């Protein structure tokens, strides 16, 4: 991808500000003058605001629940509820596909996947992002320091041994005599790769087989190794690009056509007929956490090979000759992270290109597939092995997900967001709806457990209760479990109708669309990363691979559970509960940093509600058709920890404000509960 031509400082700074503003999919109108500017845009000229070609390329569609962009026909139409706009936040999207994704995903109460499903215009990106995708064959002006921690780290990690390899290959070329020109080239490149910064490799305008047979192969190995290591480290991707270009371009050129120059020499050669091949100034860039490959974040790309490794060693090495059960379990659990990301991207892509109904079905079907796959696999394996411990581990994982989503995720987001923005505000009414759903969820899920505490130590296969003397009353408690499992999804659906239809105004999502010409232009210019069919295929494949990894994790979990100093409860509420939620934690932190604390809180609340109102009823329904012995009775620790967590988080959310102290309180309470689980005795049957 070529770097665009340079612009004037004013134009560059103005575009930079515009690009930085478009990075955040949700934003809040915090200042009155912004509303006045938007008012002028919308109503000042209803016919010609976007007539020019410049507006056609830079206008962003502001879309919300209505999804019907209209030109403001009159000033009175725009003045409708204008006072409310100042207190409402507006969803902004670059095009209608992204807007559809935001509406379907951000307001469903399902998972919040932030990644873009369409390609974003390179010209409108910030200078920081442009630098990530820039090629290394362009000499750019550089005024910063060259001696940085990243560049020195490059010398210590890669530079010295790459330079040594070139020096040794150069000696080999001199020994062959016929390869002397390549030997000289290797010695030049040895100096270059030791400290490549501020130096460039040029071409003025295959001479021997000795170079291809003796010199080139070892350097291929060296550069490929450096490419792999620097790509895995992510923040050193510039080093990977540099070595890849050297391997594929520079080393295949005649040696007399290649020379190395420094900054002072570059000016002297500006008018000569030369072509830059390689120029690098910095070995590291901390913003590479934003780097994407075909719309997929680089972290998810790098973790994907773990899935292949987990499946190969898990199903081939049955006797644990090459890897222990502990290693196999760790790899299988870590492989769930990229798969959950791919599943989320598939859901987002299909929802963005579909209507409301399809988006709802896809989200409802695959929204909890990651956790449900693991839970069902564990229950089946525990039932076949007559191991009740796995059922207790599943219950611990369910409780751990609930606690992590209502305490840890909001807490860590409040801390990070509060350190950056001092105090953040969120919609207390919408938080109140989520809080009510949480109370209903926890009350319904633990109703059979409370019933058990009130009327005896119940086992739902043959529930008994001694009522004085020798008389015994048999109680069938399964009807209660089935009743709760039906009522919880019903309450969930009612909550969706309440938030999406009848009382959507509570969420302060204002229905605004910037001039229709802009919206249509953006829509036609949108290039979707994954089509609907491709998304569906990826979604299905990722789900199948998730099932395989979950099967391997449950197969090799027993040695982990047998650790004498760690309670099985602790393993369930930490590793099994929170690893699948890592992408959600990252999303919540990003929202908090962008001062969208409302979304950060909704991330945790929505997952917690899904656990109680969807995942647990599905497990009960699965147990009806395939009896794995799943009984909806939780231990006292699960019961009181969940109730305490819900009460605390509702107290924190009452005032509609958050800061790092409130976040610290939630995180500290979460770690206190983890300490209780860590020192808890082994569950019955384990």
Residue with tokens 């525990």: 382
Q: What pLDDT was estimated at residue 492?
A: 81
**Do residue 372 and residue 450 come from a single domain?**
yes
Dist. CA 136–CA 247, nearest whole Å: 13
Higher pLDDT, 389 or 120: 389
CATH code of the domain covering residue 432: 1.20.1420.30
**Do residue 254 and residue 317 come from a single domain?**
no
**Do residue 391 and residue 525 come from a single domain?**
yes
User: Within 10 A of 221 (CB to CB), how many other CB atoms are there?
Assistant: 10
Supply 546's token pair.
């998730």
Q: What pLDDT was estimated at residue 222?
A: 92
Share the mean pLDDT of the chain: 74
Supply 615's token pair.
């995942």
The angle, 0 to 180 degrees and rounded to 10, between the axes of the packed helices 96-106 and 356-366 is 50
Of 11-20, 141-150, 417-426, least confident by mean pLDDT is 11-20
The DSSP H or E segment spanning 364 is helix 356-366
Dmax (CA) for the chain in angstroms is 107
The DSSP H or E segment spanning 203 is strand 199-203
Answer whether residue 613 is part of any domain.
yes
**Do residue 221 and residue 319 come from a single domain?**
no
Share of the chain above pLDDT 70, in %: 70
Q: What pLDDT was estimated at residue 669?
A: 94
Nearest one of 344, 345, 391, 392 to 369, comparing CA atoms? 344
**Do residue 253 and residue 299 come from a single domain?**
no
Q: What is the DSSP letter of 502?
A: I
Nearest one of 451, 454, 428, 441 to 643, comparing CA atoms? 441
At 391, phi and psi to the nearest 5? -65, -40
Answer whether residue 68 is part of any domain.
no
**Do residue 529 and residue 408 come from a single domain?**
yes
- Domain coverage including residue 181: 128-263+278-287
Q: What is the DSSP letter of 683?
A: P
Answer whether residue 273 is part of any domain.
no
Answer whether residue 499 is part of any domain.
yes
Indicate whether this model's pTM tops 0.85: no
Q: What pLDDT was estimated at residue 503?
A: 65
The yes-or-no verdict on residue 74 having pLDDT over 90 is no
Of 13-17, 379-383, 455-459, 511-515, least confident by mean pLDDT is 511-515
Q: Give how many domains the chain has, as a whole number.
A: 2
**Do residue 246 and residue 311 come from a single domain?**
no
The yes-or-no verdict on residue 664 having pLDDT over 90 is yes
Answer whether residue 56 is part of any domain.
no
Would you give the distance in Å from CA 174 to the centre of its chain?
A: 52
**Do residue 297 and residue 341 come from a single domain?**
yes
Nearest one of 367, 419, 285, 312 to 583, comparing CA atoms? 367
**Do residue 355 and residue 451 come from a single domain?**
yes
**Do residue 180 and residue 327 come from a single domain?**
no
**Do residue 375 and residue 490 come from a single domain?**
yes
Dist. CA 397–CA 372, nearest whole Å: 11
**Do residue 282 and residue 306 come from a single domain?**
no
Would you give the distance in Å from CA 54 to the centre of its chain?
A: 33
Q: What pLDDT was estimated at residue 319?
A: 85
Nearest one of 316, 351, 312 to 332, comparing CA atoms? 312
pLDDT tens-digit profile of 551-569?
A: 898 888 888 887 777 788 8
Question: What's the average model confidence in pLDDT over 286-296?
Answer: 84
Any bridge partners for residue 202, and if so which? Answer: 259, 276
Answer whether residue 95 is part of any domain.
no
Kindly give the pairing relationship between strand 463-466 and strand 472-475.
Answer: antiparallel
Of 92-101, 376-385, 622-631, least confident by mean pLDDT is 92-101
Query: Which of 287, 322, 354 lies at the terminal end of a domain, its last residue?
Result: 287
Question: What's the average model confidence in pLDDT over 172-195?
Answer: 87
Beta-sheet strands, E only, within 396-496: 424-425, 463-466, 472-475
Cα–Cα distances (Å) from 503 to 433, 495, 496, in that order, read 11, 10, 10
Question: What is the pLDDT confidence band of residue 671, given thresholds at 50, 70 and 90?
Answer: very high
Q: What is the DSSP letter of 3?
A: P
Q: What pLDDT was estimated at residue 215?
A: 87
Answer whether residue 428 is part of any domain.
yes
Q: What pLDDT was estimated at residue 287?
A: 85
Cα–Cα distances (Å) from 361 to 616, 656, 675, in that order, read 19, 32, 39
Any bridge partners for residue 173, and if so which? Answer: none
Answer whether residue 116 is part of any domain.
no
Supply 548's token pair.
């395989």
Question: What's the average model confidence in pLDDT over 568-597?
Answer: 83
Of 18-22, 500-504, 598-602, least confident by mean pLDDT is 18-22
Dist. CA 547–CA 370, nearest whole Å: 8
């Amino acid at each position: 991808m070529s770097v665009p031509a340079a612009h004037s400082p004013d134009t560059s700074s103005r575009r930079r500000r515009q690009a930085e503003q478009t990075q955040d999919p949700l934003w809040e109108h915090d200042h009155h003058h912004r509303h006045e500017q938007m008012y002028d845009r919308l109503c000042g000229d209803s016919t010609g605001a976007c007539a020019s070609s410049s507006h056609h390329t830079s206008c962003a569609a502001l879309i919300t629940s209505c999804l019907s962009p209209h030109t403001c026909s009159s000033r009175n139409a725009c003045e409708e509820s204008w006072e409310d706009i100042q207190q409402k936040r507006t969803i902004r999207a670059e095009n209608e596909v992204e807007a559809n994704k935001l509406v379907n995903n951000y307001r469903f109460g399902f998972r919040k996947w932030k990644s873009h499903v369409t390609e974003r215009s390179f010209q409108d990106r910030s200078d920081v992002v442009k630098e990530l995708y820039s090629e290394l064959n362009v000499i750019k002006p550089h005024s910063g320091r060259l001696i940085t921690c990243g560049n020195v780290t490059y010398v210590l990690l890669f530079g010295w041994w790459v330079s040594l390899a070139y020096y040794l290959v150069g000696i080999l070329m001199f020994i062959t005599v016929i390869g002397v020109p390549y030997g000289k080239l290797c010695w030049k490149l040895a100096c270059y790769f030791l400290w490549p910064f501020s130096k460039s490799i040029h071409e003025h305008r295959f001479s021997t087989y000795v170079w291809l047979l003796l010199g080139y192969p070892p350097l291929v190995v060296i550069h490929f190794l450096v490419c792999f290591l620097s790509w895995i480290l992510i923040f050193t991707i510039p080093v990977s690009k540099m070595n890849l270009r050297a391997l594929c371009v520079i080393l295949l050129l005649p040696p007399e056509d290649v020379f190395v120059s420094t900054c002072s020499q570059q000016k002297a050669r500006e008018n000569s007929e030369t072509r830059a091949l390689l120029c690098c100034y910095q070995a590291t860039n901390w913003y590479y956490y934003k780097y994407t490959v075909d719309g997929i974040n680089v972290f998810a790309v790098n973790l994907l090979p773990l899935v292949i490794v987990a499946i190969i060693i898990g199903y081939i090495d049955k006797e644990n000759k090459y890897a222990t059960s502990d290693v196999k379990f760790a790899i299988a659990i870590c492989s769930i992270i990229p798969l959950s990301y791919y599943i989320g991207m598939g859901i987002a892509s299909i929802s963005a290109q579909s209507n409301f109904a399809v988006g709802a079905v896809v989200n409802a079907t695959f929204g909890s597939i990651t956790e449900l796959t693991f839970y069902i696999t564990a229950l089946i394996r525990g039932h076949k092995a007559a191991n009740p411990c796995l059922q207790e581990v599943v219950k611990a994982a369910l409780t751990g997900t609930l606690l992590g989503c209502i305490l840890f995720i909001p807490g860590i987001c409040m801390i990070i967001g509060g350190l950056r923005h001092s105090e953040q505000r969120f919609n207390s009414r919408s938080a109140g709806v989520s809080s009510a759903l949480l109370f209903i969820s926890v009350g319904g899920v633990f109703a059979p457990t409370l019933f058990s505490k009130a009327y005896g130590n119940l086992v739902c296969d043959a529930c008994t209760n001694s009522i004085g003397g020798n008389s015994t009353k048999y109680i069938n408690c399964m009807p209660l479990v089935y009743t709760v499992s039906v009522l919880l999804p019903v309450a969930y659906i009612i909550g969706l109708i309440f938030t999406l239809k009848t009382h959507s105004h509570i969420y302060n999502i204002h229905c605004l669309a910037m001039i229709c010409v802009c919206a249509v232009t953006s829509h036609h210019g949108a290039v979707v990363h994954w089509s609907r069919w491709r998304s569906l295929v990826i979604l299905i494949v990722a789900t199948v691979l998730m099932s395989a990894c979950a099967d391997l994790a449950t197969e090799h979990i027993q040695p982990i559970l047998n650790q004498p100093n760690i309670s099985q409860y602790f393993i369930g509420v930490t590793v099994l509960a929170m690893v699948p939620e890592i992408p959600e934690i990252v999303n919540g932190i990003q929202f908090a940093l962008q001062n969208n604390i409302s979304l950060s809180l909704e991330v945790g609340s929505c997952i917690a509600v899904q656990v109680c109102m969807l995942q647990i009823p599905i497990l009960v329904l699965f147990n009806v058709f395939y009896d794995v012995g799943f009984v909806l009775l939780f231990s006292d620790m699960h019961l009181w920890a969940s109730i305490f967590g819900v009460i605390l988080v509702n107290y924190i959310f009452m005032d509609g404000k958050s800061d790092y102290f409130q976040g610290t309180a939630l995180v500290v309470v979460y770690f206190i509960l983890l300490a209780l689980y860590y020192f808890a005795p082994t569950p019955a049957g384990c």
